[in-house]
Structure 1
């Protein structure tokens, strides 16, 4: 009896503190099979699986989970699950990634909080497939985000990978401190978006394009479930506008990227003559975005 009472009280306390699980539903609208990969902590029920064209699969994650998802393409695995992929390969030699990451892949990043979830789509490590995130049933902005453009079609020759099925980041391709925002370039003031990053941002303005991209690339939602669609037939129609009608990520930005990408450089250095309206202070938003982006990367890797 004491155990039953304790269990009931514990459940009541957990519900009161907002501890709950989010459900991720992966949808494959590509014309071919993909192999979604999972890297995060704590571990989910799988770190890699096959998803045929037109298929879907759901995974549950607890509050506090932080990590990333991406799709692998051109994979070949034997009956024991051993094999490799043309793009997004996690170098584990198996269908299950088991804690290994990948480059030249479009990343979906999440940090699930007890009261607020943070999410983004990142091109910082490259690109291989278009992907969209749609929140379901949550409260707050819960805006859709992602990169629906086919960046492989416009990928520069020097960044192409996977037989044209992926586009590397400039950091991955050239490895310089300037492209990787390391060393003397390891700060928002010193590391400016390269021409490659600006091209990514122009095509996918809501996605992270380099390490110190603006905070509007991070989105928030409370108590939602999430649909992650690979190869969406078209950009999500769910509104991502704030109450004042402006396009929004974590905050509301009154204008989108210019054709030359110049406003991006201004935001990166902290200097701009344009006016932006945010739902929270820019300082706080930048901190949140940085924490979320780094948290998704700082997970155990083999």
Structure 2
């Protein structure tokens, strides 16, 4: 069940979330200028009224998040669209499912982007992280808040190093290096959420 949260003042897309069965896809038309995040909710059950819960990434017990974000842990795909698009995969709010962003090239000027692997799935991360582990780490140092709310005092922790090792091009903490942000123009994007379990 993907969740979608627009940045402040941006258009709400697809009610902010929807059910998406395994091996299915859904196309969402985004405005040319837009910013926000997509995330996967895992272990979800909803009734016919769209009420229920998700084990990870839950947004208040609703299928349609309506602008609310997901509760950690949640792997985020972050986008800022404009003349030049910026996107990244963030593990700042934790890891709940593998997330892959690919670029669909629609002009020759960005052919190189199609050939590049912008964000590769982690091979071993599912073995080193469990959602309950993350919940015990909500401190100012880990979340880069209060005294740690700036790039000088917010440093990589042992926890964020696990993610950076497994996913070197994903953001692993709030002030991670800028190589984790990718740019592209005149492209469409595919965001793929992969389950914990292989069948």
Smaller-chain TM-score range?
A: 0.7 to 0.9
Q: How many residues align?
A: 185
2:88–2:181 CA contact under 8 A, matched in 1: yes
Which residue number in structure 2 is paired with residue 184 of structure 1? 147
Q: Secondary structure at the match of 2:164?
A: helix
Q: Please report the RMSD computed on the Cα atoms of aligned residues, expressed in angstroms.
A: 1.8
Q: Report the Cα offset of residue 228 of structure 1.
A: 0.9
2:12/2:66 contact within 8 Å kept: no
Displacement of 1:203 in angstroms is 0.1
Q: Structure 1 residues 94, 177: CA separation in 2 closer, same or farther (over 3 Å shift)? A: closer
1:74 pairs, out of 27, 43, 53, with 43
Find the counterpart in structure 2 of residue 117 from structure 1.
85
Determine whether 1:153 maps to 2:127. Answer: yes
What is the 5 A alignment of 1:118-133?
118-133=86-101
What TM-score do the two structures reach when normalised by structure 1?
A: 0.58
Matched, 1:200 2:163: yes
Q: Which residue of 2 aligns with 1:215?
A: 178
Unmatched tracts of structure 2, length 5 or more: none
Q: Secondary structure at the match of 2:26?
A: strand
Q: CA deviation at 1:177?
A: 2.1
How many Å apart are 1:100 and its aligned residue?
Answer: 1.1
In structure 2, C-alpha distance between the alignment counterparts of 1:199 and 1:174, rounded to whole Å: 13
Tell me, yes or no, if the aligned pair for 1:145 and 1:207 is still in contact at 8 Å: no
Q: C-alpha displacement at 1:147, in angstroms?
A: 5.2
CA–CA distance in 2 between the matches of 1:173 and 1:67?
Answer: 27
* Residues 106 and 128 in structure 1, CA contact (< 8 A), matched pair in contact too: yes
Deviation at 1:137, TM superposition (A): 1.6
2:12 maps to 1:39: no
Q: Is the 8 A contact 1:132 1:144 kept in 2?
A: no
* CA–CA distance in structure 2, aligned partners of residues 45 and 175 of structure 1: 30
SS in 1 for 2:172: coil
> For the residues of structure 2 that align with 1:118 and 1:144, how far apart are their CA atoms?
15
Whole-angstrom distance in 2 between the partners of 1:97 and 1:67: 13
- After TM superposition, the structure 1 = structure 2 runs for residues 1-302 of structure 1, keeping only pairs within 5 Å, are 35-40=1-6, 41-91=10-60, 93-102=61-70, 103-113=72-82, 115-138=83-106, 139-140=109-110, 142=113, 143-146=116-119, 148-149=121-122, 151-155=125-129, 160-161=131-132, 168=134, 173-231=136-194
List alignment gaps of at least 5 residues for structure 1: 1-34, 162-166, 233-302
Deviations 1:2-59 (A, max 9, x none): xxxxxxxxxxxxxxxxxxxxxxxxxxxxxxxxx0111112112331111111111100
The alignment's TM-score, normalised by the length of structure 2, stands at: 0.86
Contact 2:95 2:131 in 1 (8 A): no
Asked whether the equivalents of residues 2 and 19 of structure 2 are also in contact (C-alpha less than 8 Å), the reply is: yes
- What CA distance in whole angstroms lies between the structure 2 residues aligned with 1:73 and 1:209? 20
SS in 1 for 2:102: strand
